[in-house]
């Protein structure tokens, strides 16, 4: 036990302030995200991740959002086990035809109002796999999509930025 | 070579048994040898191979327009051979290998669904890869089946599949998936349980079938490498390497030494990244979150340096036909050396904590036991095999450049439980560290890429690479104009998924996630 406490104390908190790379305004957006989640989702945004046919690259980067560097929970974002608890679906693709029915059912099980983000090149446009006898291609070919996060796979920072933007859009639409 | 001696006596035995065998030259398949087997003798051939203690490696088929060609790869003492039979397209009937090799079960059903080969004495003729996106009279890998297929407007769910059924007092069934609770891939698990104890588990996969084998056809070499890099995202380097190795052998392209070392450095980095992540996740599945965050932290640092050195956190699309797409400078090399040194130190401390944590011992020791004889029967690979007595590692037993002559420690145990699979992975990380240090220190100078030249139509090649899950096989055959006629990747998951069904029996249902994570089969790499 002492060794564990010692390790924890020595490592300290590695969670990063949102790094300034690529987009200087990210730290501000981080703060805005927290505020918006506060306004729109009662302080907590529940995401259900659905792998609808990916190569698992996107899943690894989405998992990384929970590692101590990104610690996405500090912004009020958390991943839930059931679509019935979710405000948002994060769907990776391409949507295989064998996952088509499961994805539709997951979408239907998610309560309104809901947001859907298609993740990765494959989720956005079918990527390397496109449309075939086995693949429906983009997520938007199967369920309505509100936003897209591109990249193969998108990095954890891309994912955070994409989630912020999707929520931003929701707020704009609400004020229209 | 003395290791080939068994092959000579094996061939003698086949002729004694009057099994029709003819060895044919196949330079692209080397070091594997090609044996043409009479279709009628296909089953008896497997029986003899089994008697000879050969390991079943993979099976795949191909439509050449008139006939269906069926291949099966075997290995013994690091020597590979490929058995090949030919059946008429109109009457594609062949004896099954499954009665002798359980590992051939799902791959033969895959061939049945995709190519329409009928295996006469297969004990389980249910569909496997096919759900309901194409009809049972259609075979996607036949030449007259268009890549676009004829899918229904909406694909119905995969019902009407006959699961094994258990009944009796207190027996109940738990269906799980395809959409799982975590941020993981989709598949279906059907448990039969009494109380908390798992009586039986039946896996139903194929949900992420993306038609990889079909859409590979007609691609150029670079396009195939990109696709291979997405067979299983966590093994992008290993699959791209195996596919490129196959294409390079088919085309007779010699990859520069520096490129081979860089591929190996990336492959070892990929192995370390996955092992770090999975050890943390296994600890998390038994609620030891301290290790989850510590190992997750190390994995993140590791991936960031992969990006700095090779331009991508997973090093995707860096392995290309003829070499690698990026070179590294002295600075990146020094940074990787430094990182290995610092992680080695950090891991020593973490290992000590993980290894004598009473709660981990309680949950991981004896959990998910895979007996060595079961592992052998299923041909288990990688850390699953090595925790259950199977030492095979392509890097050591059938070494490819640049691993020849490198001193590689392969950890092998026989306890076969979750704790031992974790132990194997911890030791493999250390072995990879040593390899990375050596590869960086001895990095040859020179180019990292040679121009690609397309081989003649019909040229075939075989790639064999040790991915983090174990042996990856890639088969490639070219068509006219340097286009791909056939690509088949065999991820090790094909061989480790069935072991999960066995090792989870008699465990409690709540231990399924940790058992599953300790095997960590790739859904995408399996479903193709």
Instruction: Name the band, by pLDDT with cuts 50, 70 and 90, for residue A168.
Output: confident
Instruction: Name chain A contacts of B294, Cβ cutoff 8 Å.
Output: 7, 11
The answer on pLDDT for B339 being more than 70 is: yes
Please judge whether A98 and B236 are an interchain contact, meaning their C-beta atoms are less than 8 angstroms apart: no
The answer on pLDDT for B517 being more than 60 is: yes
Tell which wins on pLDDT, A59 or A36: A59
Which residues 6+ apart lie within 8 Å of B22 measured at CB?
A: B35, B36
Instruction: Name chain B contacts of A83, Cβ cutoff 8 Å.
Output: 179
Instruction: Name chain B contacts of A136, Cβ cutoff 8 Å.
Output: 155
User: Quick one: closest CA in B to A93, which residue?
Assistant: B208
User: Quick one: closest CA in B to A3, which residue?
Assistant: B353
Q: Among A53-57, A101-105, B205-209, B357-361, where is mean pLDDT lowest?
A: B357-361
pLDDT (0 to 100) of residue A73: 86
Instruction: Name the band, by pLDDT with cuts 50, 70 and 90, for residue B280.
Output: very high
Please judge whether A62 and B183 are an interchain contact, meaning their C-beta atoms are less than 8 angstroms apart: yes
pLDDT (0 to 100) of residue A23: 47
The answer on pLDDT for B455 being more than 60 is: yes
Q: Which residues in chain A belong to E strands, given as ranges? A: 45-51, 77-79, 88-92, 115-119, 147-149
Q: Among A17-31, A137-151, B58-72, where is mean pLDDT lowest?
A: A17-31
The answer on pLDDT for A98 being more than 90 is: yes
Query: Kind of pairing, strands B67-76 and B55-63?
Result: antiparallel
Mean per-residue pLDDT, B182-210: 95
Phi/psi of residue A78, nearest 5 degrees: -140, 155
What was the ipTM of the complex prediction? 0.94
Mean per-residue pLDDT, B98-114: 97
Q: Tell me how far apart the alpha carbons of residues B73 and B329 are, in angstroms, rounded to a whole number.
A: 40
User: Quick one: closest CA in B to A15, which residue?
Assistant: B297
For B366-378, how does the pLDDT look when each residue is reduced to its tens digit (9 = 90+)?
A: 999 999 999 999 9
The CATH class for the domain spanning A25-175 reads alpha beta
Q: Tell me how far apart the alpha carbons of residues B263 and B324 are, in angstroms, rounded to a whole number.
A: 7
Q: Tell me how far apart the alpha carbons of residues B249 and B417 are, in angstroms, rounded to a whole number.
A: 39
User: Nearest by CB to B131, which of A61, A63, A98?
Assistant: A98
The answer on pLDDT for A18 being more than 60 is: no
pLDDT (0 to 100) of residue B155: 94
The answer on pLDDT for A59 being more than 90 is: yes
Mean pLDDT, rounded, of chain B = 95
Mean per-residue pLDDT, B222-248: 97
Q: Among A36-40, B202-206, B275-279, B342-346, where is mean pLDDT lowest?
A: A36-40
pLDDT (0 to 100) of residue B196: 93
Q: Among A12-16, A46-50, B278-282, where is mean pLDDT lowest?
A: A12-16
CA distance B310 to chain A (A): 15
pLDDT (0 to 100) of residue B227: 98
Positive or negative CA dihedral for B466, B468, B471, B474? negative
A-facing residues of B in 434-463 (CB < 8 A) are none
Name the β-bridge partners of B236.
Answer: none
Mean per-residue pLDDT, B261-290: 96
pLDDT (0 to 100) of residue B296: 95
For B50-66, how does the pLDDT look when each residue is reduced to its tens digit (9 = 90+)?
A: 999 999 999 999 999 89
Instruction: Name the band, by pLDDT with cuts 50, 70 and 90, for residue A24.
Output: very low
pLDDT (0 to 100) of residue B181: 86
Q: Among B3-17, B122-136, B296-310, where is mean pLDDT lowest?
A: B3-17
Tokens of B419: 């704790």
The answer on pLDDT for A19 being more than 60 is: no
Instruction: Name the band, by pLDDT with cuts 50, 70 and 90, for residue B146.
Output: very high
Q: At what angle do helices A57-64 and B289-310 cross, to 10 degrees?
A: 120
pLDDT (0 to 100) of residue B1: 46
Percentage of chain B exceeding pLDDT 90: 91
CATH code, residues B172-207+493-528: 3.30.390
Mean per-residue pLDDT, B15-35: 91
pLDDT (0 to 100) of residue A33: 75
CA distance A7 to chain B (A): 9
pLDDT (0 to 100) of residue A28: 64
The answer on pLDDT for B503 being more than 90 is: yes
pLDDT (0 to 100) of residue A69: 85
- This prediction has a pTM of 0.95
Residue by residue, DSSP assigns B421-447 as HHHHHHHHHHHHHHHHHHHHHTPPPS-
Phi/psi of residue A91, nearest 5 degrees: -110, 125
Residue B324: left (phi > 0), alpha (psi -120 to 50), or beta? beta
- Contact assessment for residue B204 and residue B161, using Cβ atoms and an 8 Å cutoff: yes
Instruction: Name the band, by pLDDT with cuts 50, 70 and 90, for residue A173.
Output: low
> Of A174, A52, A43, A35, whose CA–CA distance to A115 is shortest?
A174
Q: List b or e across A33-65, with b for residues whose CB sees 16 or more CB atoms inside 10 angstroms.
A: bbebbeebbeeebbbbbbbbbbbbbbbbbbbbb
pLDDT (0 to 100) of residue A30: 67
Query: Kind of pairing, strands B79-88 and B33-37?
Result: parallel
**Domain locations in chain A?**
25-175
pLDDT (0 to 100) of residue B167: 86
Q: Is B355 an 8 Å CB contact of chain A? A: no
pLDDT (0 to 100) of residue A27: 62
For B375-388, how does the pLDDT look when each residue is reduced to its tens digit (9 = 90+)?
A: 999 999 999 999 99
Angle at B402 between CA B398 and CA B408, to 5 degrees: 65
Which residues 6+ apart lie within 8 Å of B461 measured at CB?
A: B28, B29, B245, B246, B247, B248, B249, B250, B251, B475, B476, B477
User: Nearest by CB to A97, which of B133, B215, B230?
Assistant: B133
pLDDT (0 to 100) of residue B149: 93
pLDDT (0 to 100) of residue A25: 47
The answer on pLDDT for B251 being more than 50 is: yes
**Domain locations in chain B?**
172-207+493-528
Please judge whether B230 and A128 are an interchain contact, meaning their C-beta atoms are less than 8 angstroms apart: yes
């Amino acid at each position: 036990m002492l060794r564990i406490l010692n390790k924890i104390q020595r490592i300290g908190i590695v969670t990063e302030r949102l790094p300034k790379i690529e987009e200087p305004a990210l730290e501000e957006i981080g703060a805005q995200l927290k505020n918006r989640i506060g306004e729109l989702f009662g302080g907590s945004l529940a995401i259900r991740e659905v792998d609808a046919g990916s190569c698992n690259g996107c899943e690894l980067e989405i998992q990384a959002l929970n590692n101590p560097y990104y610690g996405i929970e500090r912004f009020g974002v958390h991943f839930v086990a059931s679509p019935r608890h979710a405000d948002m679906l994060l769907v990776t693709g391409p949507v295989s035809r064998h996952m088509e029915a499961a994805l539709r059912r997951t979408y239907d099980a998610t309560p309104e109002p809901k947001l859907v983000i298609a993740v990765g090149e494959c989720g956005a446009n079918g990527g390397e796999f496109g449309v075939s006898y086995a693949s429906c291609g983009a997520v938007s070919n199967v369920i309505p999509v509100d936003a897209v996060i591109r990249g193969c796979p998108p990095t954890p920072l891309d994912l955070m930025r994409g989630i912020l933007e999707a929520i931003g859009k929701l707020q704009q639409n609400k004020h229209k | 070579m003395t290791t080939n001696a068994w092959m000579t006596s094996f061939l003698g035995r086949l002729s004694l048994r009057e099994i029709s065998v003819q060895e044919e030259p196949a330079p692209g398949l080397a070091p594997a040898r090609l044996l043409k087997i009479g279709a009628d003798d296909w089953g008896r051939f497997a029986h003899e191979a089994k008697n000879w203690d050969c390991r079943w490696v993979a099976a795949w088929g191909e439509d050449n327009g008139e006939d269906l060609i069926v291949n099966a790869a075997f290995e013994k003492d690091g020597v590979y051979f490929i058995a090949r039979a030919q059946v008429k397209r109109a009457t594609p009937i062949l004896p099954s290998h499954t009665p002798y090799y359980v590992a051939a079960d799902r791959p033969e059903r895959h061939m049945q669904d995709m190519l329409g080969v009928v295996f006469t004495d297969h004990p389980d003729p249910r569909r496997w890869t096919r759900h309901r996106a194409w009809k049972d009279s259609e075979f996607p890998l036949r030449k007259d089946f268009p890549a676009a297929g004829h899918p229904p407007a909406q694909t119905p769910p995969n019902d009407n599949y006959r699961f094994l059924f258990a009944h009796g007092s207190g027996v109940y069934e738990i269906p799980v998936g395809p959409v799982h609770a975590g941020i993981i891939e989709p598949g279906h698990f059907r448990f039969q349980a009494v109380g908390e104890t798992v009586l039986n588990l039946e896996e139903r996969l194929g949900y992420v079938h993306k038609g990889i084998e079909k859409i590979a056809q007609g691609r150029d070499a670079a396009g195939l490498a990109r696709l291979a890099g997405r067979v299983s995202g966590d093994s992008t380097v290993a699959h791209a390497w195996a596919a490129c190795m196959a294409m390079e052998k088919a085309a007779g392209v010699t990859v520069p030494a520096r490129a081979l070392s860089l591929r190996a450095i990336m492959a070892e980095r990929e192995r370390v990244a996955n092992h770090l992540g999975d050890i943390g996740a296994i600890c998390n599945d038994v609620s030891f979150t301290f290790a989850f965050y510590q190992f997750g932290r190390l994995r993140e640092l590791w991936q960031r340096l992969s990006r700095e050195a090779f331009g991508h956190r997973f090093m995707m699309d860096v392995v290309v036909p003829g070499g690698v797409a990026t070179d590294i400078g002295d600075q990146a090399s020094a940074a990787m050396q430094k990182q290995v040194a610092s992680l080695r130190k950090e891991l020593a401390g973490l290992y000590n904590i993980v290894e004598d944590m009473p709660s981990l011992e309680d949950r991981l020791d004896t959990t998910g036991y895979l007996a060595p004889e079961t592992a052998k029967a299923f041909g288990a690979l990688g850390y699953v095999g090595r925790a259950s007595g199977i030492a095979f590692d392509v890097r050591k037993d059938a070494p490819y450049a640049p691993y020849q002559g490198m001193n590689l420690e392969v950890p092998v145990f026989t306890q076969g439980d979750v704790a031992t699979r974790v132990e194997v992975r911890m030791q493999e990380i250390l072995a990879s560290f040593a390899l990375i240090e050596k590869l960086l220190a001895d990095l040859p100078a020179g180019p990292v890429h040679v121009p690609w030249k397309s081989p003649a139509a019909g040229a075939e090649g075989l790639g064999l690479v040790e991915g983090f899950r174990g042996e990856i096989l890639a088969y490639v055959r070219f068509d006219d104009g340097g286009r791909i006629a056939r690509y088949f990747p065999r991820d090790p998951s094909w061989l480790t998924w069935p072991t999960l069904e066995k090792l989870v029996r008699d465990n409690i249902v709540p231990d399924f996630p940790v058992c599953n994570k300790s095997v960590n089969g790739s859904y995408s790499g399996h479903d193709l």
